[in-house]
Amino acid sequence: MSVLDKFLSEGLKNTILLRNNSGFSHAGSYVTAENNTLLDRWHLGDFSSVEYTISADYDSKNREILKCLVTASLDKSNLKIYSRCATNIDLVDVEARVNNSYVDVLIQPKTPKLSKTKVIFTAQYFQAQNPLVL
């Protein structure tokens, strides 16, 4: 039995089953929230929408997590924050900008005092089902 077999197996309907209530943990490289900091970029020919979980950490007393959805066409993007939980105050704003090629997901601190807030994210990318028509 491999190490992965200890945690993963085949689930119902072609899913991956996490054994023993195991889960995923996230850490790693972060960006700091400055004005218009690039969090992620994806190309419109590759993906049509993305679901993000964004974790922001200013200090040990000020932390938050956001869930948001982004969808885009060649000339329009839409970002919806559908869940937000903070220990004290909201730390960052999130925005999506599109051009004819890609989508940029940008963050910035809610106030200048909150610059240097550390931010990490996870994403689920949903592939475009139709080719781009220019």
Contact present, 123 and 50 (Cβ < 8 Å): yes
Tokens 């054994």, residue located: 19
* Domains of the chain (ranges, CATH numbers): 30-127 (2.60.40.1680)
For the entire predicted model, the pTM comes to: 0.91
Query: Which sign does the torsion angle of CA 69, 36, 110, 91 carry?
Result: positive
| pLDDT value at 18 more than 80 | yes
Tokens 């993007």, residue located: 77
pLDDT tens digits, 67-118: 999 999 999 999 999 999 999 999 999 999 999 899 999 999 999 999 999 9
Mean pLDDT of 11-23: 89
Query: How confident is residue 2, by pLDDT bands cut at 50, 70 and 90?
Result: confident
- What pLDDT score was predicted for residue 23? 85
Q: Which residues contact 112 (CB under 8 A, 6 or more apart)?
A: none
Contact present, 96 and 105 (Cβ < 8 Å): yes
pLDDT tens digits, 25-66: 999 799 999 999 999 999 998 999 999 999 999 999 999 999
- What pLDDT score was predicted for residue 1? 67
